[in-house]
Amino acid sequence: MKSVGLRKLKNRLSEYVREVRSGEGVVVTDRGEPVAELIPPGQGVEGKGVPWALRALATRGQLTLGASNKASLYPKLPPLLKRRRALDLLAEERGTR
């Protein structure tokens, strides 16, 4: 995804609109800070909540975005030790204080 300053975008708007029409997104910056994205219609809903830089890297194949962090996606693991056994181990470790 390209990045362009506000002033340059204003001066060359038609050029950047053509790029967006061809499928490439453009990040608009103001004094180096991202303030907006120009993307083709229908591409904005899918990546909500994901920073533009990460989406750009994923588009280029340089990283893979993970699944959302919902507990239902991951299997529940049984505890490794029974509660009583863990307390016994802690008491043994601490000794008599």
CB atoms within 10 A of CB 55: 19
pLDDT tens string 12-48: 999 999 999 998 889 999 998 888 889 887 676 554 5
Q: Are 13 and 1 in contact (CB under 8 A)?
A: no
Angstrom distance (rounded) from CA 50 to CA 31: 22
Domain 2-67, CATH number (from 3.40.50.300, 3.40.1620.10, 3.40.50.970, 1.20.120.160): 3.40.1620.10
- The residue ranges of every structural domain in the chain are 2-67
CA 67 to chain centre: 10
What's the pLDDT band for 8 if we cut at 50, 70, 90? Answer: very high
* Segment 74-82 long-range contacts (CB within 8 Å, at least 24 positions apart): none
pLDDT tens string 84-97: 777 888 888 888 66
Tokens of 72: 């239902």
Angstrom distance (rounded) from CA 87 to CA 91: 6
Tokens of 5: 């300053």
